[in-house]
Amino acid sequence: MKDLKSQASKNAAPGKQSGLNAEIQSRIGHQLRAMYDDVVRQGVPDRFAELIRKLDKPQNPPQVDSTGGNNNDGRE
Amino acid sequence: MPLTDALRDDILAAVPSLRAFAISLCGNGDRADDLVQETLLRALANIDSFQPGSNLPAWLFTILRNLFRSDYRKRRREVEDAEGNYAKTLKTQPAQSAHLEFEEFRAALDKLPQDQREALILVGASGFSYEDAATICGCAVGTIKSRVNRARSKLAALLYVDGAEDFGPDETVRAVIGGNG
Protein backbone atom coordinates (compact mmCIF):
# COMPACT_ATOMS: atom_id res chain seq x y z
CA MET A 1 0.00 0.00 0.00
CA LYS A 2 2.81 2.40 0.90
CA ASP A 3 4.61 1.58 -2.33
CA LEU A 4 1.54 2.45 -4.35
CA LYS A 5 1.19 5.69 -2.47
CA SER A 6 4.67 6.77 -3.44
CA GLN A 7 4.08 5.59 -6.97
CA ALA A 8 1.00 7.73 -7.03
CA SER A 9 3.08 10.87 -6.70
CA LYS A 10 5.89 9.64 -8.96
CA ASN A 11 3.61 8.50 -11.72
CA ALA A 12 1.19 11.35 -11.72
CA ALA A 13 2.23 12.52 -15.17
CA PRO A 14 -0.65 12.67 -17.66
CA GLY A 15 0.36 9.65 -19.74
CA LYS A 16 0.78 7.36 -16.76
CA GLN A 17 -2.35 8.32 -14.89
CA SER A 18 -4.57 5.66 -16.43
CA GLY A 19 -1.94 2.94 -15.99
CA LEU A 20 -1.65 3.74 -12.32
CA ASN A 21 -5.40 3.81 -12.02
CA ALA A 22 -5.67 0.38 -13.56
CA GLU A 23 -3.06 -0.93 -11.15
CA ILE A 24 -4.85 0.55 -8.16
CA GLN A 25 -8.19 -0.78 -9.35
CA SER A 26 -6.82 -4.26 -9.79
CA ARG A 27 -5.35 -4.06 -6.30
CA ILE A 28 -8.71 -2.98 -4.89
CA GLY A 29 -10.48 -5.78 -6.74
CA HIS A 30 -8.01 -8.27 -5.38
CA GLN A 31 -8.44 -7.10 -1.78
CA LEU A 32 -12.18 -7.06 -2.07
CA ARG A 33 -12.28 -10.65 -3.28
CA ALA A 34 -9.71 -11.77 -0.73
CA MET A 35 -11.87 -10.37 2.06
CA TYR A 36 -15.00 -11.96 0.67
CA ASP A 37 -13.45 -15.31 -0.18
CA ASP A 38 -12.07 -15.66 3.34
CA VAL A 39 -15.65 -16.03 4.49
CA VAL A 40 -16.78 -18.11 1.51
CA ARG A 41 -14.03 -20.62 2.26
CA GLN A 42 -15.50 -21.27 5.70
CA GLY A 43 -18.21 -23.22 3.93
CA VAL A 44 -21.62 -23.90 5.42
CA PRO A 45 -21.75 -23.69 9.23
CA ASP A 46 -23.58 -26.60 10.87
CA ARG A 47 -26.44 -24.43 12.07
CA PHE A 48 -27.47 -23.68 8.49
CA ALA A 49 -27.03 -27.21 7.21
CA GLU A 50 -29.23 -28.42 10.08
CA LEU A 51 -31.78 -25.70 9.56
CA ILE A 52 -32.26 -26.61 5.93
CA ARG A 53 -32.25 -30.33 6.64
CA LYS A 54 -34.97 -29.95 9.28
CA LEU A 55 -37.16 -27.74 7.17
CA ASP A 56 -36.71 -30.04 4.24
CA LYS A 57 -38.52 -32.90 6.03
CA PRO A 58 -42.28 -32.76 5.64
CA GLN A 59 -43.78 -31.90 8.99
CA ASN A 60 -44.95 -35.37 10.01
CA PRO A 61 -45.16 -35.66 13.81
CA PRO A 62 -48.98 -35.96 14.03
CA GLN A 63 -49.09 -39.57 12.90
CA VAL A 64 -49.87 -41.04 16.33
CA ASP A 65 -53.47 -42.03 15.76
CA SER A 66 -53.10 -43.99 12.59
CA THR A 67 -51.95 -47.21 14.26
CA GLY A 68 -53.47 -46.87 17.72
CA GLY A 69 -56.92 -45.82 16.60
CA ASN A 70 -58.61 -49.17 16.86
CA ASN A 71 -58.33 -49.66 20.59
CA ASN A 72 -61.88 -48.74 21.45
CA ASP A 73 -63.64 -51.23 19.26
CA GLY A 74 -64.49 -53.78 21.91
CA ARG A 75 -68.19 -53.49 21.33
CA GLU A 76 -70.49 -56.12 22.78
CA MET B 1 -41.81 -24.30 -6.91
CA PRO B 2 -41.75 -27.04 -4.25
CA LEU B 3 -38.63 -27.59 -2.19
CA THR B 4 -36.93 -30.40 -4.07
CA ASP B 5 -33.64 -31.99 -3.02
CA ALA B 6 -31.90 -30.20 -5.85
CA LEU B 7 -33.29 -26.85 -4.78
CA ARG B 8 -32.31 -27.50 -1.19
CA ASP B 9 -28.76 -28.29 -2.33
CA ASP B 10 -28.66 -25.10 -4.37
CA ILE B 11 -29.77 -23.07 -1.37
CA LEU B 12 -27.09 -24.69 0.79
CA ALA B 13 -24.51 -23.99 -1.87
CA ALA B 14 -25.40 -20.30 -1.75
CA VAL B 15 -24.91 -20.06 2.02
CA PRO B 16 -21.15 -19.31 2.01
CA SER B 17 -21.52 -16.33 -0.29
CA LEU B 18 -24.66 -15.16 1.52
CA ARG B 19 -22.58 -15.08 4.70
CA ALA B 20 -19.77 -13.21 2.99
CA PHE B 21 -22.26 -10.66 1.68
CA ALA B 22 -23.94 -10.35 5.08
CA ILE B 23 -20.62 -9.84 6.87
CA SER B 24 -19.50 -7.25 4.39
CA LEU B 25 -22.79 -5.41 4.88
CA CYS B 26 -22.90 -5.39 8.65
CA GLY B 27 -19.28 -6.00 9.64
CA ASN B 28 -20.31 -8.22 12.53
CA GLY B 29 -20.11 -11.99 12.24
CA ASP B 30 -22.83 -12.94 14.73
CA ARG B 31 -25.28 -10.47 13.39
CA ALA B 32 -24.44 -11.53 9.85
CA ASP B 33 -25.22 -15.14 10.65
CA ASP B 34 -28.55 -14.14 12.19
CA LEU B 35 -29.27 -12.26 9.01
CA VAL B 36 -28.42 -15.34 6.93
CA GLN B 37 -30.64 -17.51 9.12
CA GLU B 38 -33.52 -15.09 8.74
CA THR B 39 -32.92 -15.04 4.99
CA LEU B 40 -33.07 -18.82 4.76
CA LEU B 41 -36.26 -19.03 6.81
CA ARG B 42 -37.85 -16.32 4.71
CA ALA B 43 -36.73 -18.01 1.49
CA LEU B 44 -38.02 -21.43 2.53
CA ALA B 45 -41.33 -19.97 3.67
CA ASN B 46 -41.73 -18.27 0.29
CA ILE B 47 -40.21 -20.97 -1.87
CA ASP B 48 -43.41 -21.17 -3.90
CA SER B 49 -42.73 -17.71 -5.25
CA PHE B 50 -39.32 -18.69 -6.59
CA GLN B 51 -39.43 -19.12 -10.37
CA PRO B 52 -37.75 -22.35 -11.44
CA GLY B 53 -34.83 -21.62 -13.73
CA SER B 54 -34.36 -18.07 -12.50
CA ASN B 55 -31.28 -16.95 -10.62
CA LEU B 56 -31.47 -18.51 -7.16
CA PRO B 57 -28.47 -16.69 -5.65
CA ALA B 58 -29.85 -13.36 -6.87
CA TRP B 59 -33.22 -14.19 -5.31
CA LEU B 60 -31.59 -15.07 -1.98
CA PHE B 61 -29.34 -12.00 -2.03
CA THR B 62 -32.40 -9.83 -2.66
CA ILE B 63 -34.12 -11.25 0.41
CA LEU B 64 -31.01 -10.78 2.52
CA ARG B 65 -30.49 -7.22 1.36
CA ASN B 66 -34.09 -6.28 2.06
CA LEU B 67 -33.93 -7.80 5.53
CA PHE B 68 -30.70 -5.98 6.19
CA ARG B 69 -32.17 -2.71 5.01
CA SER B 70 -35.23 -2.92 7.25
CA ASP B 71 -33.17 -4.15 10.18
CA TYR B 72 -30.50 -1.53 9.62
CA ARG B 73 -32.97 1.29 9.89
CA LYS B 74 -34.16 -0.08 13.21
CA ARG B 75 -30.83 -0.38 14.88
CA ARG B 76 -28.48 1.95 13.13
CA ARG B 77 -27.19 3.13 16.48
CA GLU B 78 -26.35 -0.24 17.95
CA VAL B 79 -23.96 -1.37 15.28
CA GLU B 80 -21.35 1.30 15.49
CA ASP B 81 -19.11 -0.82 17.70
CA ALA B 82 -18.52 -3.22 14.86
CA GLU B 83 -14.95 -2.13 14.23
CA GLY B 84 -12.54 -5.03 14.28
CA ASN B 85 -15.25 -7.64 14.59
CA TYR B 86 -14.94 -8.61 10.98
CA ALA B 87 -11.41 -9.91 11.45
CA LYS B 88 -12.53 -12.01 14.41
CA THR B 89 -14.88 -13.93 12.19
CA LEU B 90 -11.98 -15.21 10.11
CA LYS B 91 -10.61 -18.62 10.94
CA THR B 92 -7.24 -17.97 9.42
CA GLN B 93 -5.70 -14.76 10.62
CA PRO B 94 -3.63 -13.04 7.98
CA ALA B 95 0.03 -12.39 8.77
CA GLN B 96 0.78 -9.17 10.61
CA SER B 97 1.52 -6.83 7.72
CA ALA B 98 -1.20 -8.31 5.57
CA HIS B 99 -3.47 -7.98 8.57
CA LEU B 100 -2.82 -4.25 8.84
CA GLU B 101 -3.44 -3.82 5.16
CA PHE B 102 -6.62 -5.80 5.54
CA GLU B 103 -7.82 -3.65 8.42
CA GLU B 104 -7.04 -0.54 6.45
CA PHE B 105 -9.02 -1.85 3.52
CA ARG B 106 -11.93 -2.84 5.70
CA ALA B 107 -11.96 0.59 7.35
CA ALA B 108 -11.96 2.31 3.96
CA LEU B 109 -14.82 0.10 2.77
CA ASP B 110 -16.82 1.05 5.85
CA LYS B 111 -16.45 4.72 4.93
CA LEU B 112 -18.35 4.26 1.68
CA PRO B 113 -22.02 5.13 1.57
CA GLN B 114 -24.04 1.96 1.93
CA ASP B 115 -25.45 2.10 -1.60
CA GLN B 116 -21.98 2.22 -3.06
CA ARG B 117 -20.57 -0.43 -0.76
CA GLU B 118 -23.23 -3.01 -1.57
CA ALA B 119 -22.99 -2.32 -5.31
CA LEU B 120 -19.23 -2.75 -5.25
CA ILE B 121 -19.43 -5.98 -3.27
CA LEU B 122 -22.14 -7.51 -5.44
CA VAL B 123 -20.26 -6.77 -8.66
CA GLY B 124 -16.65 -6.88 -7.49
CA ALA B 125 -16.74 -9.76 -5.00
CA SER B 126 -19.93 -11.79 -5.38
CA GLY B 127 -19.47 -11.77 -9.13
CA PHE B 128 -22.99 -10.69 -10.11
CA SER B 129 -23.54 -8.98 -13.43
CA TYR B 130 -24.55 -5.31 -13.34
CA GLU B 131 -28.02 -6.48 -14.36
CA ASP B 132 -28.34 -8.94 -11.46
CA ALA B 133 -26.95 -6.40 -9.03
CA ALA B 134 -29.54 -3.91 -10.24
CA THR B 135 -32.30 -6.46 -9.65
CA ILE B 136 -30.99 -7.21 -6.17
CA CYS B 137 -30.81 -3.53 -5.24
CA GLY B 138 -34.05 -2.62 -6.99
CA CYS B 139 -32.53 0.10 -9.16
CA ALA B 140 -31.46 0.78 -12.74
CA VAL B 141 -28.37 -0.82 -14.26
CA GLY B 142 -26.87 2.63 -14.87
CA THR B 143 -27.30 3.46 -11.21
CA ILE B 144 -25.37 0.35 -10.22
CA LYS B 145 -22.59 1.20 -12.66
CA SER B 146 -22.21 4.69 -11.32
CA ARG B 147 -22.30 3.47 -7.70
CA VAL B 148 -19.57 0.94 -8.44
CA ASN B 149 -17.46 3.57 -10.16
CA ARG B 150 -17.85 6.02 -7.35
CA ALA B 151 -17.05 3.33 -4.81
CA ARG B 152 -13.86 2.41 -6.66
CA SER B 153 -12.67 6.00 -6.96
CA LYS B 154 -13.36 6.68 -3.34
CA LEU B 155 -11.51 3.55 -2.20
CA ALA B 156 -8.56 4.44 -4.41
CA ALA B 157 -8.51 7.91 -2.91
CA LEU B 158 -8.78 6.64 0.65
CA LEU B 159 -6.20 3.90 0.31
CA TYR B 160 -3.63 4.92 -2.21
CA VAL B 161 -3.42 8.67 -2.38
CA ASP B 162 -2.47 10.96 0.47
CA GLY B 163 -5.27 13.45 0.84
CA ALA B 164 -8.28 12.11 -0.97
CA GLU B 165 -9.00 15.21 -2.99
CA ASP B 166 -5.49 15.53 -4.40
CA PHE B 167 -6.02 12.71 -6.81
CA GLY B 168 -7.00 14.23 -10.11
CA PRO B 169 -6.26 17.30 -12.21
CA ASP B 170 -4.51 19.20 -9.44
CA GLU B 171 -2.02 16.44 -8.86
CA THR B 172 -1.44 16.07 -12.57
CA VAL B 173 -0.97 19.77 -13.07
CA ARG B 174 1.45 19.95 -10.19
CA ALA B 175 3.46 17.03 -11.57
CA VAL B 176 3.59 18.57 -15.02
CA ILE B 177 4.70 21.92 -13.62
CA GLY B 178 7.25 20.14 -11.46
CA GLY B 179 8.48 18.07 -14.41
CA ASN B 180 8.92 21.08 -16.65
CA GLY B 181 10.66 23.15 -14.03
Class of domain B1-80 (CATH, top level): mainly alpha
Question: Is B172 close to A12, i.e. CB distance below 8 A?
Answer: yes
Residue range(s) occupied by CATH 1.10.1740.10 in chain B: 1-80
**Is residue A37 a part of any domain in this protein?**
yes
* Amino acid of residue A36: Y
- Confidence label for A56 from pLDDT (cuts 50, 70 and 90): low
Count of domains for chain A:
1
* Amino acid of residue A56: D
Q: Does A57 touch chain B (CB under 8 A)?
A: no
Task: Compute the mean pLDDT over every residue in chain A, rounded to the nearest whole number.
Answer: 68
* Per-residue pLDDT, A62: 42
- Nearest CA-CA partner of A52 in B9, B59, B60, B49: B9
Q: Is the ipTM of this complex over 0.95?
A: no
**Is residue A28 a part of any domain in this protein?**
yes
Question: Is B12 close to A5, i.e. CB distance below 8 A?
Answer: no
Q: Which residue of B has its CA nearest to A12?
A: B172
Task: Compute the mean pLDDT over every residue in chain B, rounded to the nearest whole number.
Answer: 82
Question: Is B125 close to A49, i.e. CB distance below 8 A?
Answer: no
- Confidence label for A3 from pLDDT (cuts 50, 70 and 90): low
To 10 degrees, the CA torsion angle through B65, B99, A22, A16?
150
To 10 degrees, the CA torsion angle through A31, B24, B126, A44?
110
Tell me: the pLDDT tens digits for B71-122?
A: 766 665 454 444 445 555 555 555 666 677 888 898 999 999 999 999 999 9
Q: Which of these CATH numbers, 1.10.3720.10, 1.10.10.10, 3.40.50.920, 2.60.40.10, describes B94-181?
A: 1.10.10.10
What are the distances in angstroms from CA B67 to CA A21, B32, B34, B74, B114? 35, 11, 11, 11, 14
Cβ atoms A12, B171 nearer than 8 A: yes
